[in-house]
Amino acid sequence: MNSELSAADVSDRDIQLDPARLPAHVAIIMDGNGRWARQRLLNRVLGHEKGADTVRAIVTASREIGISTLTLYAFSTENWQRSVLEVSALMSLLKKFLESEKPVMMANDIRLNAIGQIERLPDDVQNVLRAVMQATAENQGMRLNLALSYGGRAEIVRMARTIAEKAISGVLEPSSITENTIVDYLYTHDIPDPDLLIRTSGEMRISNFLLWQIAYSELYFTSTLWPDFSKEEYVNILKAYQQRERRFGAA
Ligand code: IPE
Ligand code: IPE
Ligand code: MG
């Protein structure tokens, strides 16, 4: 936990979360698994395994708190550059996570969704992913949105290509293109923009996550490494969010 948050803890200790002012959509860049492992002289993969436990805890906490949509950045388009060993460990962890969490998602009324280049994932992972998405499609309690082989720029390129094709084939008039048209062709077309974006591990960057969608998101950076991130810290961040004034450019 960083010192700024600890200081906030003391003054916020008695402040309760206001259920009426919760962020509808929380997005998280789950970073720091590798450093968590390195600090313990462990293999990076063990950091990812511990990180998966945090994912479980934060998904459950989000559902309990009443968040409508939780988007987790699990694997970026750039993460394919990592070693074959690390990528395959991440893919098998993802598969294991989906299999073990399916009953949890059913029991908690959570609907699973995925954004990104799903077709690049190994076939067995795609199959489990599709099966869990199908099984949970009617669940209404919370939307869990996993960003897998996701890149904000790739998403924008995909949108531009689709719109260009529609314009060429005559079904879309270029002068009729609005911000809503752009949104229609993003992976997130049926999800509201994130109200709050959290990044763990102390890095102060976006790393190609939801570039269009975070235009007016509140940003929160914590130095806590993802495997150490807890429900307590999450609640404190939500409290800090509730102290902020969102203006969206208005006076
Ligand atoms: C985040 O942890 C998980 C993924 C990007 C898949 P990292 O693996 O990036 O951990 P650090 O940044 O090296 O500590
Ligand atoms: C961002 O973390 C991607 C995910 C958390 C999945 P990275 O560790 O890949 O980002 P950089 O390399 O620090 O920018
Ligand atoms: Mg990282």
Q: Three-state SS for 142?
A: strand
* Residue 163 vs residue 13, higher pLDDT: 163
Q: What is the pLDDT of residues 153-164, one digit of tens each?
A: 999 999 999 999
- Closest alpha carbon to 30 in 197, 142, 151, 156: 197
CA diameter of the chain: 60
150: amino acid identity, one letter: Y
pLDDT grade for 14, boundaries at 50, 70 and 90: low
CA–CA distance, 112 with 129 (Å, rounded to integer):
9
In a domain, 105, yes or no: yes
Q: Domain for residue 169, yes or no?
A: no
Domain that holds residue 107: 23-150+193-242
Nearest CA owner, ligand 2 atom 11: 207
191: nearest Cα among 65, 59, 72, 82: 72
Q: Tokens in use for 219?
A: 């940003």
Find out whether 108 and 63 touch, Cβ atoms under 8 Å. Answer: yes
pLDDT in tens, 18-64: 999 999 999 999 999 999 999 999 999 999 999 999 999 999 999 99
Give the count of domains, the chain: 1
Nearest CA to ligand 2 atom 14: 207
Q: Judge whether 155 lies within some domain.
A: no
Q: Say yes or no to pLDDT of 180 above 70.
A: yes
Q: Residue 251 — pLDDT band, cuts 50, 70, 90?
A: confident
Residue nearest to atom 3 of ligand 2 (CA): 76
**Nearest CA residue ID for atom 3, ligand 1:** 31
**Ligand 1 pocket list (CB less than 6 A):** 30-35, 75, 79, 90, 201
Q: pLDDT for 99-121, tens place per residue?
A: 999 999 999 999 999 999 999 99
Residue 16 has pLDDT above 60, yes or no: yes
Going by alpha carbons, the residue nearest to atom 12 of ligand 2 is 207
- 209-239 residue pLDDT tens: 999 999 999 999 999 999 999 999 999 999 9
**Domain assignment of residue 127, yes or no:** yes
Q: Which of 29, 31, 97, 221 to mutate to test the pocket of ligand 1 (most atoms within 8 A of CB)?
A: 31
d(CA 164, CA 234) in angstroms, rounded, equals: 41
> In the prediction, which pLDDT does 7 show?
46
- 189 to 150, 155, 158, 184, 185: CA distances (angstroms): 15, 11, 13, 5, 6
**Alpha carbon 214 to its chain's center:** 12
Alpha helices in 80-213 (DSSP H): 84-107, 123-135, 152-168, 179-184
Distance 19 CA to ligand 3 centre (A): 32
CATH assignment at residue 79: 3.40.1180.10
Query: Which are the catalytic amino acids?
Result: 31, 79
In a domain, 106, yes or no: yes
* 157 domain residue, yes or no: no
Q: Distance from the CA of 125 to the center of ligand 2, in angstroms? A: 21
Q: Which two tokens stand for residue 142?
A: 């919370």
Q: Which atom, in ligand 1's list, is nearest to the CA of 37?
A: 14
What are the φ/ψ torsions at residue 148 (nearest 5 degrees)?
-125, 125
DSSP assignment letter at 139:
-
Q: Is 57 within the bounds of a domain?
A: yes
pLDDT for res 13: 59
Q: Is the CB of 198 under 6 A from ligand 2?
A: no
**Distance of CA 174 from the midpoint of ligand 1 (Å):** 40
Mean pLDDT of 241-246: 96
pLDDT value at position 59? 98
Regarding the beta carbon of 150 and ligand 2, being less than 6 Å apart is answered no
> Could you identify the residue written with the tokens 């989906």?
98
CA distance 92 to 210: 25
Position 49 in a domain: yes
73 touches ligand 2 (CB under 6 Å):
yes
Q: Are 201 and 180 in contact (CB under 8 A)?
A: no
- Reference 90, options 45, 123, 59, 124; nearest CA is 45
Q: What is the pLDDT of residue 4?
A: 52
Q: For tokens 């994932």, what's the residue?
A: 121
Among the bound ligands, the one closest to the CA of 78:
2
Task: Average the pLDDT over 136-163 and give the result.
Answer: 98
State yes or no: pLDDT of 8 exceeds 70. Answer: no
pLDDT of residue 15: 74
Average pLDDT of every residue of the chain? 95
Provide the residues around ligand 3 (an ion) whose CB is within 5 A.
31
